Amino acid sequence: MTIEAVSTAGERMRLNMGPHHPATHGVLRIVVESDGEVVESCTPDHGYLHRSIEKIGENVEWAMFVPYTDRVDYVCAMNANLAYCAAVEALLNTEPGSAVVVPRRAECIRVLVAELNRISSHLIAVGAMAMDVGAYTPFLHGIAQREYVNDLFEKLCGQRLTYNYVTVGGVAFDLYPGAEGEIAAFLAQFEVEMRRFNQLVTTNTILRDRCAGVAVVTGAEAIAWGLVGPNLRGSGVDFDLRRDAPYGLYGELGVRVPTGQAFAGRHGVVGDCYDRYVVRLLEIQESVRLCREVLKMLPAAAAKANDPIGGYQADVQKQLKKPPIGFVHCRTEAPRGEMGYFLVSHGQKQPFRVRVRTGSFSAAGIFHKVMRGIFLADVVAVIGSFDVVVPEIDR
C-alpha cells in the first residue's frame, strides 16, 4: 500500500491499494481515503484485466467459446464452463423438435465436477481471508486440500486450472476408471480435515473478533445492491438457484441452503464478515453431501458416447451450425453466486451477442458503502469476505 496524496485540508490521506497488493486477490486497484485509521471512502478501480471476452464470444463459433469461459473465473472454471454450455443448450432447445438431451451420466458428472470445484474455490476464499487478517497456516491447509481436487481434475481432463471440460451437450471425457472410488475417498478424508480446519481457524477468537460486526450488509441492502451467492446468503437471504431455479440434476438433489445467522455470537451481526465466511464453510459441507448423492445416482457407462443414459456427450454438431434465431438468458449458481449468460442468435454458427453476468462485479460495487467508517486494518478482511475474483469484474 502506497500513499498517493495527502490532503492539505484536515488529516485525510489517499492510499493507493493495488493493483498488485496481495490482499486484493488479483490486479484490482482500490483507492482508499482515510482520516487517520478510519476509512472515509473506498473506490475500486477496475480495468487492469480487461480482455474483451464477450467480444471474442461474438467472433468464434459456439463451441469454440468454451475455453474462453474458463478465463471468466479461473478459480471455478468447471462452473464457468457449465454456465455457458447450459445457456447454449437452452438456446438450442427453443426450436421445437430438436431438443438437446444431455445424457444422464453426463449430467451427474457435471454436478460432480461443479461441486468439487465449488469446494476448491471456497477453500481458496476462506484460506485467503484468514491469511489476510494475519493467519498464514490456514491458507496452506486449504491449498493442500485443493490440490487433491486438482489431482482428480488432472486425471479427468489433463488440466489443473482451466479445464475446457464441460461441453455443449455433455462433457469432453467420461470418468476415468476408478474415479468414483477416488472421489469417495477424497470426500471421506476431506471431512476429517475440515473438522481440524474449523478447530484451528473458525473457532479462533482472534479471527472471529476481527470479523464480527464488520462491514454489515442487511438482507434488504444485499438485494438492492444485487449481491448474489454466499454474499447474499450471508446477509440472511434464503436464495440459491440450485434449489429455487434448478438446472441439470439439482432439482432431484434437494439442495440445502445455509444463511447468515450472526455466527460470531454476541458481537456478531447478521451479514457481517464472519457470516459470509461461515456460509462458505457450510456450503463446502453441502457440496460434499451433493457429491455423495450424485455418486449413488451415477448410471453405468455405456459403449456409445451419445447414449441417453450412460453416455457422456450428445450429438449437437448440426444444431450448432444453424441454431435457432432468438435469445436466451440462463442462470447458474457458481461459487461466487449467479453466473448467467445472455445469448443472442441470428441463426449463424457464431453468436450475435454474448453477455455474462457474474457476482464479483456487484460485490466490488458495494465496497465504498460498507467500508466507510471501518478501520484501515479491516479493509483486507472485507475484501476477503466478499471473495471477489478480478476476471469476473473485467470481462
**What is the maximum alpha-carbon separation in the chain?**
76
- Candidates 356, 368, 365; CA nearest to 392 is 356
- What CA–CA distance (Å, rounded) separates 87 from 109? 18
pLDDT given at position 8: 44
Looking up cell 431438443, which residue turns up? 99
338, β-bridge pairs: 333
Asked which of 94-98, 104-108, 250-254 is least confident by mean pLDDT, the reply is: 94-98
Is the pLDDT reported for residue 98 higher than 80? Answer: no
Cell of 71: 478465463
> Taken in order 46, 50, 54, 58, is the CA torsion positive or negative?
positive
Is the pLDDT reported for residue 6 higher than 90? Answer: no
What distances in angstroms separate CA 135 from CA 127, 308, 378, one per listed residue?
Answer: 9, 49, 14
pTM of the model: 0.94
- What CA–CA distance (Å, rounded) separates 172 from 165? 5
- Burial level of 195, CB count in 10 A (0-12/13-18/19+)? exposed
pLDDT digits 0-9 by tens, 155-203: 999 999 999 999 999 999 999 999 999 999 999 999 999 999 999 899 9
Kindly provide the b/e burial profile for residues 356-391, where b requires at least 16 CB atoms within 10 angstroms of the residue's own CB.
bbbbbbbbbebbbebbeebebebbbbbbbbbbbbbb
Asked which of 64-68, 96-100, 227-231 is least confident by mean pLDDT, the reply is: 96-100
* Contact by Cβ (8 Å): 299, 323: no
Terminal-to-terminal C-alpha distance of the chain: 26
Confidence label for 132 from pLDDT (cuts 50, 70 and 90): confident
45, β-bridge pairs: 29
What distances in angstroms separate CA 228 from CA 25, 29, 46, 174, 362, one per listed residue?
Answer: 19, 22, 20, 32, 8
Is the pLDDT reported for residue 19 higher than 90? Answer: no
What residue segments make up the domains of the chain, in order of their start?
Answer: 53-393
Coil, strand or helix at 333: strand
Q: Which helix (H) or strand (E) holds 171?
A: strand 170-171
- What CA–CA distance (Å, rounded) separates 259 from 49? 32
What distances in angstroms separate CA 168 from CA 123, 309, 315, one per listed residue?
Answer: 28, 17, 9
* Contact by Cβ (8 Å): 255, 286: yes
Q: Which helix (H) or strand (E) holds 34?
A: strand 29-35
- What CA–CA distance (Å, rounded) separates 238 from 227? 13
pLDDT given at position 236: 96
- What CA–CA distance (Å, rounded) separates 11 from 35? 6
CATH classification (class only), 53-393: mainly alpha
Give me the chain's average pLDDT, please: 92
Is the pLDDT reported for residue 285 higher than 80? Answer: yes
Q: Which amino acid is residue 287, in one-letter code?
A: S
Average confidence (pLDDT) over 232-257: 96
Q: Which amino acid is residue 307, in one-letter code?
A: D
Kindly provide the b/e burial profile for residues 217-228, where b requires at least 16 CB atoms within 10 angstroms of the residue's own CB.
bebeebeebbbb
What distances in angstroms separate CA 58 from CA 54, 86, 105, 290, 341, one per listed residue?
Answer: 7, 17, 31, 35, 13
Tell me which of 6 and 282 has the higher pLDDT.
Answer: 282
Tell me which of 17 and 304 has the higher pLDDT.
Answer: 304
pLDDT given at position 3: 45
Average confidence (pLDDT) over 318-327: 94
